[in-house]
A and B are shown apart, each in its own frame.
Chain A
Amino acid sequence: GQQLNQSPQSMFIQEGEDVSMNCTSSSIFNTWLWYKQDPGEGPVLLIALYKAGELTSNGRLTAQFGITRKDSFLNISASIPSDVGIYFCAGLNTDKLIFGTGTRLQVFP
């Protein structure tokens, strides 16, 4: 089945560093969503992007909807230990979400 290409697969960073991850697709999407999943929990929505070129922030998180509508980026600035988790991108067309394979983030003090 279709899945989005998300990279990197995992990241090990020190507290205070900035993080970047991205998602690419061969298909165009009308909406890009970024989720964070903690162990044993469901995904929690972080940021939603609705327009090509859109740049949206949520605290230390910033995400962009690529101009081609086939990609999206998520940046986390000044990482802290509670940023640990798996981050998923998801592309939405009509009513169905297609998920990326996830980026596992580890933050060391």
Chain B
Amino acid sequence: NAGVTQTPKFQVLKTGQSMTLQCAQDMNHNSMYWYRQDPGMGLRLIYYSASEGTTDKGEVPNGYNVSRLNKREFSLRLESAAPSQTSVYFCASSEPNTQYFGPGTRLTVL
């Protein structure tokens, strides 16, 4: 039981490049989330998916897209990366009343 896994662990992009962050959970949870964490701040919600086939915007969705590929997987895509998207990205999944987080992807956009 790996919990929530994320790939890659680190990534460096140039401005304008695109990439997809992958997330998978093996806990059979319905809900999955993508957050970003910037220095000195808590986690801010980018997008979430309450169930397979549905996605909704969170607090900071601009510049991102998501895909809930199946119940296990929830990917985050940056179509045209910008330096303001330099951050640590966390995926999470939840059962009612709690959330479990992945180890994070540290993204730098030059």
- A-to-B contact residues, CB < 8 Å: 1-4, 6, 30-31, 33, 35, 40-45, 48, 50, 88, 90, 92, 95-97, 99-102
B44 touches A1 (CB 8 A): yes
A60 to chain B, nearest CB (A): 21
A24 to chain B, nearest CB (A): 14
The answer for the CA separation of A81 and B104 in the assembled complex, in Å, is: 24
A31 touches B100 (CB 8 A): no
B1 at interface by CB-CB < 8 Å: no
The answer for the CA separation of A82 and B102 in the assembled complex, in Å, is: 21
Q: Inside 8 A of B45's CB, which chain A residues have their CB?
A: 96-97
B104 touches A42 (CB 8 A): yes
B102 touches A1 (CB 8 A): no
- B-to-A contact residues, CB < 8 Å: 4, 31, 33, 40-45, 48, 50, 58-60, 90, 92, 94, 97-104
B53 to chain A, nearest CB (A): 15
B31 touches A95 (CB 8 A): yes
B99 touches A33 (CB 8 A): yes
A101 and B42 in contact (CB under 8 A), knowing A50-B97, A95-B48, A95-B94?
Answer: yes
Q: Inside 8 A of B48's CB, which chain A residues have their CB?
A: 95-96
The answer for the CA separation of A88 and B42 in the assembled complex, in Å, is: 7
The answer for the CA separation of A41 and B40 in the assembled complex, in Å, is: 15
Closest to A48 in B: B98
B43 touches A43 (CB 8 A): yes
B21 to chain A, nearest CB (A): 13
Q: Inside 8 A of A43's CB, which chain B residues have their CB?
A: 43, 90, 101
The answer for the CA separation of A47 and B100 in the assembled complex, in Å, is: 12
A61 to chain B, nearest CB (A): 16
